[in-house]
Amino acid sequence: MTITIYHNPQCGTSRNTLAIIRQSGEEPEVIEYLKNPPSREKLIELIAAMAMTPRQLLRESGTPYAELNLGDPKWSDGEILDFMLAHPILINRPIVVTPLGTMLARPSEAVLDILPNPDIGPFTKEDGEVVIGADGKRIL
């Protein structure tokens, strides 16, 4: 089974999502999208699979979002894509693709909804937040 994660190893949410996938028994294809950004066609495909718009996938924090004035509604979807391709840090992460769907896994535990084996046992995020308790139940 193939699972792909568009990953930024500097991002805690991305690291936690990768850990959840691995704890489910899968070793995903890890694409460090800042080093190997998706093509325009692939980015369009991912956005469509998530039923999002390019603007909804824009990341603001830690990016040139403000400097590029990307909050201005004048930018078309095509122009937003152009910015994302020129500055991959603008692509929010992590994006996960599994046979059950494609999603922006924020928060990281959202990925459980598209994992073939979501029964991963206890899981605690890097910051100490318990996602799944010792009893195997998700903490809401």
Residue 26: both structure tokens together: 């899968």
May I ask the CATH architecture of the domain 4-132?
Answer: 3-Layer(aba) Sandwich (3.40)
Question: Across the beta sheet with 29-32, what order do the strands follow?
Answer: 29-32, 4-7, 95-98, 101-104
* Cα–Cα distance, 15 to 109 (Å, whole number): 11
Task: Mark whether 11 is an active-site residue.
Answer: yes
* pLDDT value of residue 1: 63
Among 3, 5, 11, 97, the active-site one is 11
* pLDDT value of residue 44: 98
Q: Are 7 and 61 in contact (CB under 8 A)?
A: no
- Per-residue pLDDT tens, the chain, 140 aa: give them: 699 999 999 999 999 999 999 999 999 999 999 999 999 999 999 999 999 999 999 999 999 999 999 999 999 999 999 999 999 999 999 999 999 999 999 999 999 999 999 999 999 999 999 999 888 888 87
